[in-house]
Structure 1
Amino acid sequence: MQRSSGCALAARRLCRAFNLDRSPSAFDLPLYFCPAFRSLSLGNPTARRPQSRPESRWTQVRQLHAQSVSAPSAEGQPELAQKPQRTLPLQCPGCGAFSQTAVPSDAGYYNLSRKSVMQYLGLERPKEAKKPRKADQIVQEVLQSVDVEALECQGIDLKSLLPESKPASAATTEPDKPPVCDRCHNLIHHSTGNSIYHPSIESLRETIEESPYKYNHVYHVLDAADFPMSLLPRLHSLMDIKLRPRNRRSDPVNFRHGKKTEMSFIITRSDLLAPTKEQVDALMPYLQSVLRDALGRVGERVRLGNVHCVSAKRAWWTKQLKEEIWERGGAGWMVGKVNVGKSQLFEAVYPKGRMDEKPPKQQISIKVFPKTQTNANPPLAEPEQDSEDSNPLLPGRTAMPDDDFPLLPPPLPETNYPPMPVVSSLPGTTASPIRVPFGNGRGELIDLPGLSRGDLELHVREEKRKNLIMTERIVPETYAVTPGRSLLIGGFIRLTPRNVAPDEELVFIMYPFTPIKAHCTSTRKAVAVQTEAEDAPNVENIALPGTGATIKHAGAFQVRYDTTKKQARAVLDRTGVKADRLPFRVLGIDILIEGCGWVEVEVQVRTKKLFGSPSASSSATSATATIREGEKDGGDGLGEVASTSEWMEKLDLRPEPVNAEEKEGSGKDGQPEPNWPIIDVYSPEGRFIGYRRPMNGFVINRKPHKNQRGRPRKSMKGAKKLAKAARREEE
């Protein structure tokens, strides 16, 4: 027993001395400062450290390398012919990953042969012998044949015609900002890179709990492209944050554990909603109502005056948010899912160039960290005698227990214009928290890694994944979809109307606000394209091969939101009739595609058909019976539209009935539920689909109508006078 414990102790000492991990099975994982890996179990569960005390627990050792981190001897790194003048930055300023020189495929890797890295370290690149050009050889031959002394006697000085040599000090100037890692370099210049593992909400909560500031503010960043699908409904409860209730007499937000934490909602990329800032501001009541619906029961009790709708691209309300961050001080945390625009918003609202302003009178921060900041890039020191295998470019990289290492990395040195996080469309760009202080200790802004969003891009071909992100405002095309036809989005998402009333065929008008190409065709052909059948027509499908086998029913959505007042405003203004007295109703709904955009659906129904008999339950039952009859005939539940095929029998593409609470429920005052039109949506794994009340985006973003009237005819008054004068002259 003593021998085994002695071997284990010797092994731990060797691992700590040579900077080796104690779990060799997890070497393929990129290990950063990000606290998401605290909960990961590494290697064999039996290899975990036994608990020595009840309050201690085994967590991952926060180190970076799975082998010795000696940079000069690492594979692919050049031998350093001279001693560098400084070390690498502690973190990559672009993604926040811990700097390393051992694993080129991971974030934070620095290639020492890169020009910017060598200049930052104070190294000189070896000069390559340049081959002389033919023009230079001709010039040299001419100069050798010229008598320079004779020309000088005539007053011609050839030396004055030569360019002056630059001073040697100009070529050896040190760069002001540290370089980014190779992964960020490829993202900026080549738009290529790998995503990192997304953290969990619990890990972000533990990170925020270690804040050294007394006042903390969490900015929950949402994306306007698929709002509100990027919302985390329970974020405030998981982070123990109290939202302000509607009751103004309620107790204000109190301090907990000596800290005060509040939350605001920020809707980014608002320029995707409307062309002008005034139109986006007019949508704020709508956005607040949609946010209340997404929050559930909590949304009816809280006050939503803390919702900001900004656009970093167009600089809409970013200046006001920047001033709010400056006045509030303390720690500002950017929390949200991936690809919602956190890093771009970070750069737009960070208060730059304010180091010379006076500090606030009140105390904002708790003195946890020392006031004097440690130098993140210290000069190179002489290595110790017992650290022969240590990396001279990465000081202090030793394997330490997680209890001795804080979750938060140290902040960057405060400057007026510090380096900002990298902005990229790649999901999961930020690898670790990036702390950028401002205002001489007034506060700091922290960019946290993004949470998982749904991974729709994993079902799309790699060369088409960039098309999933909406980068500019879309003016949609109009598609009239009748029962028996479907709308394909990218070839792998299908919207199919369901004909609830057999005696009346409704026309569904669809406006796809997505960067993916849409195509309207018959339902039989649309199913063949979506499921990648052999007899599928020639319609582009951007999904990966094999995705057709994963297509499932994502939901049956009732088109139940009345938009008659907005869509039929011209008729109401001309006739003076109220909307509830019209013989028809215009209903709408927005079908959301996670991370891509939305499809606005509208349908016009007769009032007597909508509120008359049969009830919703009987109509839904009859629709389901019609589907079952179609299945007996070998179709897909759409009658004569679908045809029999083997792939239809293998896949379960039957539309499910509407939810029980929606199908058999009653309306207000005990009245029967109206006969709402239904639209079925099919997607990979039956996921990535949501809905919201309609925004009527087509009315806001529609193309301007061209003037149908021709150019006004030129007045003939002058021509008639000239003709009359000509006749008089002839007489």
Structure 2
Amino acid sequence: MFTCPRCAFLRNLQSVSKSYPLRRNIRPSRSLYSVQQRLRPGHVEIFSSKRNFSDAATTTTSSASADESPARDLTVPPESSEQSPQQPHSPIPPSVQPELLPLCCPGCGAYAQTVDPNEPGYYSKTRRQTRRALQEAQRVLAEQRKEALKEAEKEAKEEEAGENSEDAEKPARPPRPIFDEVALEENPDLAEKATKIVAATAPPTQVCDRCHDLIHHNKGVPAPTPTIESIRALLEESPHSRNRVYHVIDAADFPASLITGIYRALDLQYQRSKNRRSKTEKFKHGKRMTTISFVITRADLLAPTKEKADSLMQRVRRILLDRLHLDPDDVRLGNIHMISSHRGWWTKKVKEEIREHGGGIWVVGKANVGKSSFITTCFPKDSRNLEKVAELLARRQQEPELPSTQESPELDTDSLLPPAPREELFPTLPVVSSLPGTTVSPIRIPFGRGKGEMIDLPGLERGNLHEFVKDEYKRDLIMTKRMKPTQLSIKPRQSLLLGGGLVKITPWRPSSSEGPENEPRNDSENEGDAEPPTVLAANFTPLEAHVTRTEKANEILRGERTYNTGGGGRGTQVIRPDMLHMVSSAGVITLSTDVTRNHLPRRIQKELEDHGTPPPPLPYRVFATDILIEGVGWVELTAQVRVRRLVEDLNDPTALGETEEERRRHLPRVEVFSPNGRHIQTRAPLETYRFIEEKKRRDKRKLSLESGSHRPQRQSISIKKRAAHGAKV
């Protein structure tokens, strides 16, 4: 059973507090001479987090345990009995407790602990990075103890000689270089050197074992997802007066990863109306309301270039307004950003917006939509801020040499938010992984010298489609690059299988006596049924697409036939064999969006673009829609339907002269099958396949120009015969 880090901490805190009182914010002294007198043989000091996840901070070890390796047990070897006298055991831990572990793991946000290796935030005692930190801490401690002993012996000799140690001149230490903002601005080389010093002297931070396995071995256990109510509770504890929520949406299945009721669930400020007197900021109960911005990540999956991705913004805005149930004639929706962390599209603009806003920047979204990647790309770093560099250098000079003895923030056990870490020049950013549920608890990253901070929140539940997929193909469900599919034709009595049966799309054949409100049928095979039109499908998913007869597709789903794409056992079936019987109908979907104007003949379309000549009456209509597979991608469906008579106006949906019910009855429809009839949504078509068609036409024209095939071929006759032929003419 999984235990959240906060409950695990409180449970261990109660067990620890029974043995000795808990001391917080223990700041070790620069000299360890006084503490050395308190240490006794066999008294071993445990290196752990300040949250005291270990069972006891100090233990009395036997002679057998004292011979163990200190690097393996994370202990400091005790001093001999000659240097420290015997003292009675005290339940109060010593005042020096070097902290090798961070308060929270900077990669996933889990509280550091050394108790349960199966829970997030666990730090192994045998990790190489932990052993190196221990060895460094032991080396510094040994040097400080030697210096303390030498100073004590020197003071004792001076007292015996009758010399006053306070008036004695001490050897002057070499002055440390002074770096201020003015000096750094005047000398660029000095500024570069100071930046390198700050980066080199930064306190070492290490991630937990779970994040280490995610980074280096690409394996891990997903953490449980929170609820929207818990996200609201975190927002209510914000220490900032100005807060903004960045709702991250994945472009692969946009807008399936949208939280539709986010305004009411998180008590956010609603969108501004188009009234020019509408206020940009609103207050509720004397507190400024939290604003929201929508960020669509991985926009490079939609279009090959930045300009073509921007051309989809109007369609994206209309789809978003429709899902949020907002009237496009009443509200303005300008807070939408389509970015690409991989290609750097519009990331600089979002970064400047975050830096100017300041305050609390809350990153909210469903699991595995790219929240951590968004923070890694758009976090406003201040590596060139000379004021911050000078401030960090001054802090480094005041800190002790031991990196693990730096002052840590105080932990509030009543707060849901972890304490904010110290601001660094190059902070440790969250771990980016394809595993859903990587972030366990909020991760706070301050920026701008106290101006604000970004908070990475755990992702909400997105769906359980991966539970129906084989373990070796679960990571293949994520689309990592833009797909360039080939348009497939789904003829009547055929079906499209995705992933060997994970999703099935079949053209729906309605009976002449049935209306559009009847229950969907699995597959209509009656001879009297109307023949459905041919549907063109472009598969923008990483799943393998295969068109086969509907009878064979049904046999594959019943387990009576082996999935095969062409003989010889070819084909990849990602769905688990024991889950085939759970594939059921997700409903009948109507291709209702008229896209005839975008599918005109090339000559007519060019006249329309160049001269504005309206197209002539056409005997057909083209309808399209996009089928969304939750967390995987989308399938673009297009079908051409003949009309009873010529249509004069393509923009008038009622130009057919029929009622809405009769019109929808003649529209093409498909039936979609998925596990438990879920994980399927629809949207208005973005028509991203036309980018691929344009690229093919350009390549074909370029090839013809290079080969010279565009020129008219000359006749294979001699000049004399050609001249004679011309003279006769």
TM-score (norm 2): 0.67
Residue by residue over 1:407-440, the C-alpha shift from the partner in whole angstroms, topping out at 9 and shown as x without a partner, is: 1101121011101100000000001100000111
Matched, 1:583 2:612: no
Question: In the superposition, relative to structure 1, how do residues 579 and 588 fare at CA in structure 2: closer, same or farther (>3 Å)?
Answer: farther
> What code does the residue aligned with 1:100 have?
Q
- Structure 2 CA distance, aligned partners of 1:88 and 1:598? 44
Residue by residue over 1:593-642, the C-alpha shift from the partner in whole angstroms, topping out at 9 and shown as x without a partner, is: 0111100000111011899xxxxxxxxxxxxxxxxxxxxxxxxxxxxxxx
> What code does the residue aligned with 2:454 have?
L
**Contact conserved, 1:85 with 1:123, CA < 8 A, in 2?**
no
Question: In the superposition, relative to structure 1, how do residues 69 and 468 fare at CA in structure 2: closer, same or farther (>3 Å)?
Answer: farther
**Contact conserved, 2:618 with 2:646, CA < 8 A, in 1?**
no
Question: Which residue pairs with 2:339 in the alignment?
Answer: 310
Secondary structure, aligned partner of 2:287: coil
| Aligned partner (choices 281, 298, 303) of residue 269 of structure 1 | 298
Matched, 1:96 2:123: no
Question: Which residue pairs with 2:281 in the alignment?
Answer: 253
**Contact conserved, 1:71 with 1:101, CA < 8 A, in 2?**
no
Question: Which residue pairs with 1:279 in the alignment?
Answer: 308
Q: How does 1:348-363 map to 2 (within 5 A)?
A: 348-353=377-382, 356=385
* Distance apart, 1:209 and its partner CA: 0.8
**Contact conserved, 1:487 with 1:519, CA < 8 A, in 2?**
yes
- Structure 1 CA distance, aligned partners of 2:227 and 2:356? 30
**Contact conserved, 1:474 with 1:514, CA < 8 A, in 2?**
yes
Question: Which residue pairs with 1:202 in the alignment?
Answer: 229
- Structure 1 CA distance, aligned partners of 2:218 and 2:507? 39
Secondary structure, aligned partner of 2:322: helix
Question: In the superposition, relative to structure 1, how do residues 357 and 444 fare at CA in structure 2: closer, same or farther (>3 Å)?
Answer: farther
Question: Which residue pairs with 1:542 in the alignment?
Answer: 574
> What code does the residue aligned with 1:587 have?
F
* Distance apart, 1:690 and its partner CA: 0.5
Question: Which residue pairs with 2:74 in the alignment?
Answer: 80
Matched, 1:344 2:373: yes
Residue by residue over 1:441-480, the C-alpha shift from the partner in whole angstroms, topping out at 9 and shown as x without a partner, is: 1000111000010121111111101110011111011210
Question: Which residue pairs with 2:696 in the alignment?
Answer: 704
* Distance apart, 1:188 and its partner CA: 0.6
**Contact conserved, 1:241 with 1:261, CA < 8 A, in 2?**
yes
Question: In the superposition, relative to structure 1, how do residues 334 and 610 fare at CA in structure 2: closer, same or farther (>3 Å)?
Answer: farther
- Structure 2 CA distance, aligned partners of 1:609 and 1:221? 46
- Structure 1 CA distance, aligned partners of 2:255 and 2:633? 11
Matched, 1:29 2:29: no
**Contact conserved, 1:331 with 1:444, CA < 8 A, in 2?**
yes
| Aligned partner (choices 331, 351, 366) of residue 322 of structure 1 | 351
Question: In the superposition, relative to structure 1, how do residues 300 and 180 fare at CA in structure 2: closer, same or farther (>3 Å)?
Answer: farther
**Contact conserved, 2:552 with 2:561, CA < 8 A, in 1?**
no
Question: Which residue pairs with 2:55 in the alignment?
Answer: 68
**Contact conserved, 2:248 with 2:365, CA < 8 A, in 1?**
yes
Matched, 1:478 2:487: yes
Secondary structure, aligned partner of 1:449: coil
Deviates more, 1:114-123 or 1:699-708: 699-708
* Distance apart, 1:704 and its partner CA: 2.2
> What code does the residue aligned with 2:105 have?
C
- Structure 2 CA distance, aligned partners of 1:687 and 1:64? 43
TM-score (norm 1): 0.67
- Structure 2 CA distance, aligned partners of 1:582 and 1:238? 48
> What code does the residue aligned with 2:250 have?
D
* Distance apart, 1:241 and its partner CA: 0.9
- Structure 1 CA distance, aligned partners of 2:7 and 2:352? 29
Matched, 1:420 2:447: no
Q: How does 1:545-584 map to 2 (within 5 A)?
A: 545-568=577-600, 570-573=602-605, 578=614, 581-584=617-620
| Aligned partner (choices 536, 543, 547) of residue 509 of structure 1 | 536
Structure 2 unaligned residues grouped into runs of 5+: 11-49, 78-96, 140-199, 389-397, 513-528, 648-657, 720-729
> What code does the residue aligned with 2:76 have?
Q
Question: In the superposition, relative to structure 1, how do residues 182 and 299 fare at CA in structure 2: closer, same or farther (>3 Å)?
Answer: farther
Question: Which residue pairs with 1:56 in the alignment?
Answer: none
Residue by residue over 1:500-545, the C-alpha shift from the partner in whole angstroms, topping out at 9 and shown as x without a partner, is: 4745441111000001111111111112223433566555321123
Matched, 1:498 2:508: yes
Question: Which residue pairs with 2:628 in the alignment?
Answer: 592
Question: Which residue pairs with 1:226 in the alignment?
Answer: 253
- Structure 2 CA distance, aligned partners of 1:279 and 1:536? 38
Secondary structure, aligned partner of 2:474: helix
Question: Which residue pairs with 2:319 in the alignment?
Answer: 290
> What code does the residue aligned with 1:270 have?
A
**Contact conserved, 1:88 with 1:121, CA < 8 A, in 2?**
no
Q: How many residues align?
A: 540
Secondary structure, aligned partner of 1:608: strand
Question: In the superposition, relative to structure 1, how do residues 206 and 609 fare at CA in structure 2: closer, same or farther (>3 Å)?
Answer: farther
Question: Which residue pairs with 1:188 in the alignment?
Answer: 215
> What code does the residue aligned with 1:90 have?
L
- Structure 2 CA distance, aligned partners of 1:483 and 1:313? 41
> What code does the residue aligned with 1:304 have?
L
What is the percentage of aligned positions where both structures have the same residue?
38
Secondary structure, aligned partner of 2:293: strand
- Structure 1 CA distance, aligned partners of 2:408 and 2:72? 16
Deviates more, 1:234-243 or 1:77-86: 77-86
> What code does the residue aligned with 1:242 have?
Q
Structure 1 unaligned residues grouped into runs of 5+: 1-27, 39-62, 127-172, 360-373, 382-392, 612-665, 722-731
Residue by residue over 1:523-580, the C-alpha shift from the partner in whole angstroms, topping out at 9 and shown as x without a partner, is: 1111222343356655532112321121111111001111111122525336767458
**Contact conserved, 1:318 with 1:349, CA < 8 A, in 2?**
yes
- Structure 2 CA distance, aligned partners of 1:71 and 1:280? 60
- Structure 2 CA distance, aligned partners of 1:210 and 1:560? 46
> What code does the residue aligned with 1:546 have?
D
**Contact conserved, 2:619 with 2:645, CA < 8 A, in 1?**
no
* Distance apart, 1:79 and its partner CA: 2.2
- Structure 2 CA distance, aligned partners of 1:495 and 1:213? 50
Q: How does 1:646-685 map to 2 (within 5 A)?
A: 673=664, 675-685=666-676
Tell me which of the two structures has the higher relative contact order, counting C-alpha pairs closer than 8 angstroms and 6 or more residues apart.
Answer: 1
- Structure 1 CA distance, aligned partners of 2:641 and 2:56? 70
